[in-house]
Amino acid sequence: MGALSDLPSVSRLLADAAVAALVAKHGQPVVTQLVRDTLAHAREAVRAGGAVPDTASLVARVSADARALKLPKPRPVFNLTGTVLHTNLGRAPLPEEAVEALIRVARSPCALEYDIASGGRGDRDDVVSELLCELTGAKAATVVNNNAAAVFLLLNTLARKRKVIVSRGELIEIGGAFRIPDIMQRAGARLVEVGTTNRTHLKDFRGAITRRTALLMKIHTSNYAIQGFTHAVPEQELAELAHAHDLPFVVDLGSGTLIDLERWGLPHEPTPCESITAGADLVTFSGDKLLGGPQAGLLVGRKDLIAQIKRNPLKRALRVGKITLAALEAVLRLYRDPDRLPERLTTLQQLTRAESDIRAAAARLLPAVQGALAALPVTAQIVPLRSQIGSGSLPIDRLPSAGLAIRPQGKKGGVLHRVEAGLRTLPRPVVGRIQDGALLLDLRCLQPHEESEFTANLSEFPCS
């Protein structure tokens, strides 16, 4: 065991030439703190019976910590999980048009709530509401922080202290804290469940309507599917029933793509336009799921109901900022030219990417991956894979894809976790998935223009 007194003092370590260079780069307070932390850590290790580290290793540790501090957060990563809209990885990557738009308004003042024609006060929703109406067939629209906020605000405005009728098969939980019954309760609405888990009929809804009913609601069961002996009431019938009782019919679509994906050979996902056409009075959906835009919650529908929602003081608490609105506007604008959408909207580009194209990327990148892992007892090879859309969209459908499978050469699987952890320490961490004894890197979401960054990044793989 070494002696604590053999450790250098804070001031002696700060006087080291390499540490002084760090001070010039990162500033005195930051580096002093890192030196203190490093010495505290070393003292603890010595007390626990370890050797006294030499100055060079203490300096190396301070430099490494300083480098890590400089990395911006959230850290950009490569999403090779095979899940295109990965909630933990920030969902939809924005198209270039949206990135440019948000940088423009971030840098300078903009007419956010200012009517340039009259010089008077404007409404921030006007930035996108016209486009939203055009693309969904609705008469009015508003925007909040995310779709959970949209659902909450809708219920709090239209159903406080009153009842909302929902099919039992649609009382979903969407990852973590978003559960329809909980949101309903927090919004002050009373939930009335009708039907059974697998089958709900129009007469179930009809029988539940009372004087205390505020609205009928349909929730798109986005993240799971009920198969077999099932029945759900079509939107049009629910709308007719609601309207016969002078009640609004509202739909939470969840993902809500603005154009039918079947056009590009993808499975069908309901659109807001379809719900509006079926008679829905309000539809809510996310901005950063299949829509491919920034995080936002969109509410479209009847003019009087949207106006009522906008008068709720909570709208102010849930509103979005100029950066979100600028990005959203740029993304919505792309939908005006559907023919070019798959080239321009990143999410759609990734979803429609041909398997052969992904396989070709895998062939290009295999040598770099094999090179980076050369020192480890693993093999890497090109394999067919199946990607999923993610974020609760189309939970059963899989997209034919390709990528690399890294497998241990011997029987020991431990090395796989070392590779996985090593990929996470890269300047731009690479996130794959471990499945059936292999680390899989699905290359669908690696954009072709990022391939050179990907290989350069790999050259930093920690050699063992």
Ligand X SMILES: *Cc1c(COP(=O)(O)O)cnc(C)c1O
Tell me the one-letter amino acid at 80: L
For 244, other C-beta atoms within 10 Å of its C-beta total: 10
Judged by CB under 6 A, the chain residues 143 through 172 that form the site for ligand X are: 146-148, 151
**222 or 346, CB closer to ligand X?**
222
Q: In this complex, which beta carbon is closest to ligand X, that of residue 174 or of residue 258?
A: 174
- What is the DSSP code (8-state) at residue 177? T
Closest by CA to 301, choosing from 123, 122, 126, 132, is 132
CA angle 217, 218, 224 (to 5 degrees): 145
End-to-end CA distance of the chain: 28
Q: Which is nearer to ligand X, 135 or 144 (CB)?
A: 144
Distance CA 205, CA 160 (A): 20
Q: Give the C-alpha distances (Å, rounded to integers) separating 389 from 17, 38, 82, 222.
A: 52, 44, 8, 11
**Which amino acid is located at 241 in the chain?**
L
Nearer to ligand X, 392 or 422 (CB): 392
DSSP letter at 95 equals P
Binding-site residue total for ligand X (CB under 6 A)?
Answer: 15
Q: Residue ranges of the alpha helices (H) in 48-79? A: 55-70
Q: Encoding tokens for residue 109?
A: 């003042």
At its nearest, how many Å lie between ligand X and the CB of residue 457?
A: 30
Find, among 330, 371, 366, the residue nearest to 461 by Cα.
Answer: 371
Shortest reach from residue 445's CB to ligand X, in Å: 19
- CA diameter of the chain: 86
SS3 174: strand
Which residue from 65, 125, 252, 281 is in contact with ligand X, where contact means CB under 6 A? 252
Of 197, 190, 205, nearest in space to 239 by CA: 205
Q: Is the peptide bond before 74 cis (omega within 30 degrees of 0)?
A: yes
Cβ contact 59:23 at 8 Å: no
Structure tokens at 34: 């890192």
Binding mask 96-135 for ligand X (x = CB under 6 A): ----------------------------------------
352 is a site residue for ligand X (CB under 6 A) = no
Measured from the CB of residue 289, what is the shortest distance to ligand X in angstroms? 6
By C-beta, is 44 or 173 nearer to ligand X?
173
Confirm or reject binding of residue 174 to ligand X (CB under 6 A): yes
| Distance of closest approach, residue 90 Cβ to ligand X, in angstroms | 12
Does residue 324 bind ligand X (CB under 6 A)? no
Cβ closest to ligand X, residue 19 vs residue 183? 183
Nearest distance in Å: CB 62, ligand X: 40
The site string for ligand X over 200-239 (x = CB under 6 A, - otherwise) reads -------------------xx-x-----------------
Show Cβ contacts of residue 398 under 8 Å, excluding neighbours closer than 6 positions: 386, 387, 388
Q: Which of 38, 81, 142, 286 is close enough to bind ligand X by CB under 6 A?
A: 286
Q: Name the burial class of residue 236, with classes exposed (0-12), middle (13-18) and buried (19+) by CB atoms within 10 angstroms of its CB.
A: middle
Restricted to residues 292-311, the positions that interact with ligand X (CB under 6 A) are 297
Among 45, 52, 110, 178, binds ligand X (CB under 6 A): 178
Among positions 272, 392, 408, 422, the unique one binding ligand X when judged by CB under 6 A:
392
CB of 222 vs ligand X, minimal distance in Å? 4
Residues paired with residue 270 on neighbouring β-strands, in sequence order: none
CB of 284 to ligand X, least distance (A): 7
Stretch that binds ligand X, among 20-28, 225-233, 249-257, 426-434 (CB under 6 A): 249-257
Backbone angles phi, psi at 131, to 5 degrees: -60, -40
What one-character DSSP code corresponds to residue 212?
T
CA distance 28 to 26: 7
Tell me the window of 126-134, 142-150, 324-332, 440-448 that interacts with ligand X (CB under 6 A): 142-150
Nearer to ligand X, 143 or 419 (CB): 143
How many Cβ atoms are within 10 Å of 123's Cβ, its own excluded?
13
| Closer residue to ligand X in complex, CB, 220/407 | 220
With respect to ligand X, which residue has the nearer C-beta, 197 or 379? 197
Q: Is 79 in the site for ligand X (CB under 6 A)?
A: no
- Residue 289 or 359: the one with the smaller Cβ distance to ligand X is 289
CB-CB contact of 297 with 148 (8 Å): yes
Q: Which is nearer to ligand X, 45 or 89 (CB)?
A: 89
Nearer to ligand X, 23 or 89 (CB): 89
Give the residues lining the site for ligand X (CB under 6 A): 146-148, 151, 174, 178, 219-220, 222, 252, 254-255, 286, 297, 392
